[in-house]
Structure 1
Amino acid sequence: MNDIWSWQRAADVLPLLLEGFRITVLATVVGMAIASVLGLLVALVRRAPSRWVTLPVGFLVEFIRSTPLVVQLVFVYLLVPGLSSLTIGFLVLGVHYATYMSEVYRAGIDAVPRGQWEAATALNLPRARTWRAVVLPQAIRKTLPGLGNYAISMFKETPFLFAIGVVEMFTAAQQYGSSNYAYTEAITMVGILFLAASYPTSVLVRRLETRLA
């Protein structure tokens, strides 16, 4: 059993994994903040009346969604050498997931009853106030479960940051394993930490979805 698992090695690698876990959570939080705001902006822009606006934005959204995240990370890393790897990770994660979240926002906006729009028009509300006070509060409320699911997906995809040199949790485990010729403890604990963080979050998202439904 000692050849397969060592509690001493598990204790040795834990501080490294916790530091990597901090980077993982930080990348997820900042990436989600960027994706949430940018995704809403993209959803609003795609509702513009001009095809000269909607077509290029639509093409860019489909292009980003159709290319792998790891390729985007490496491409931006090579294209913009002045930024730190972690900053590039924040931006690419945020932009990549913004393209998916824009569809969630779009669905939420489309789900607002037509009577709400008509009531705002009857009250002669300015268009900006209609969006700010009537449409967006209802749309965002409907999109919260979807945004939560994408937050979990982003959290689980942070290991791709290894491609640009960010030492997140999985990369820390690999480095420990390669230097000590012992991967079992490190990789197992990474899986446990991912599970410990993502499973409670997924339960909360499901409960939120049930409540909002």
Structure 2
Amino acid sequence: MSWDWNYTGEILPDLLSGLRITIAATLLGYVIALVLGLVWTLLQRTPSRAFNLAVHWVAEFIRSTPLLVQLAFVFFVLPGWGLTLSALTAGIIGLGVHYSTYTAEVYRAGIADVPRGQWEAATALNLPRRRVWRSVILPQAFRRVIPTLGNYLIAMFKDSPLLMGITVVELLNSAYQAGAKSLQLLEPLTVVAALFIIVSVVSSLIIRRLERRYATN
């Protein structure tokens, strides 16, 4: 099989369009994962043990269920219950909710790693509990978990091809559609692989830079 550069040039705009959708879905899903993951973590620190266990097992169920199954549930099953979402919206929500259970564990570890003396100092200063979390604990916890949170961003990007299962025309789906029209898959799949590598490597370098600048040992 020989490489067809003319064909590659023809399909590249469609592949780049798919890449934009992939990146948008990843970033928006990541925002959901960051916010909802913190919510999971804080809910598990409430005084009620029964409530904490309930939240824990809900998060554990989501984390233990295949992402593709969750995406299919959101896109194909929820409309039967009166909630219809576009494929891209369903994909973003599915990615965000699934990965929020992982970021929750990252936050939990970061909070646990904050020195006990910080809690005691805040108590001695009689700071309101909300301010203790906002100004003392969470800023320190975030700095400790920047590398791990960054790794989950890259992992989410690499899981984005699963959105093809709910008809999102992301990067891999764009390649398959181009290949189906021309019956040539070598060029589109190779370009897709190259784009995934480029974006992942660049993201990794940015995350490492943020880690050196903001993270603490």
Range of TM-score over shorter length: over 0.9
- Equivalence map 1:181-192=2 (5 Å): 181-192=183-194
Q: Which runs of 5+ in 1 are unaligned?
A: none
Deviation sequence 1:83-138 (CA, Å, 0-9, x none)? 11111001010000000000000000001100000000000001111111100110
Give the structure 2 partner of residue 10 of structure 1: 8
Give the deviation of 1:148 after TM superposition: 0.6
99, 107, 126: which one pairs with 2:109? 107
Give the structure 2 partner of residue 119 of structure 1: 121
Give the deviation of 1:70 after TM superposition: 0.5
Q: Secondary structure at the match of 2:197?
A: helix
Give the deviation of 1:151 after TM superposition: 0.3
Give the structure 2 partner of residue 158 of structure 1: 160
Give the deviation of 1:207 after TM superposition: 4.1
Give the deviation of 1:206 after TM superposition: 3.2
Q: Secondary structure at the match of 1:83?
A: coil
Give the deviation of 1:65 after TM superposition: 1.0
46, 49, 63: which one pairs with 2:47? 49
**Distance across 1 between alignment mates of 2:77 and 2:176:** 27
| Root mean square deviation of aligned Cα | 1.1
Give the structure 2 partner of residue 79 of structure 1: 77
TM-score of the pair, normalised by structure 1:
0.96
**Distance across 2 between alignment mates of 1:151 and 1:91:** 15
- Equivalence map 1:63-74=2 (5 Å): 63-74=61-72
Q: Which runs of 5+ in 2 are unaligned?
A: none
Give the deviation of 1:208 after TM superposition: 3.7
Give the structure 2 partner of residue 38 of structure 1: 36
Give the structure 2 partner of residue 178 of structure 1: 180
Counting matched residue pairs gives 211
Give the deviation of 1:80 after TM superposition: 2.0
Deviation sequence 1:140-167 (CA, Å, 0-9, x none)? 1111111110000001111000111100
Give the deviation of 1:210 after TM superposition: 4.8
TM-score of the pair, normalised by structure 2:
0.94
Report percent identity of matched pairs: 54
Give the structure 1 partner of residue 137 of structure 2: 135
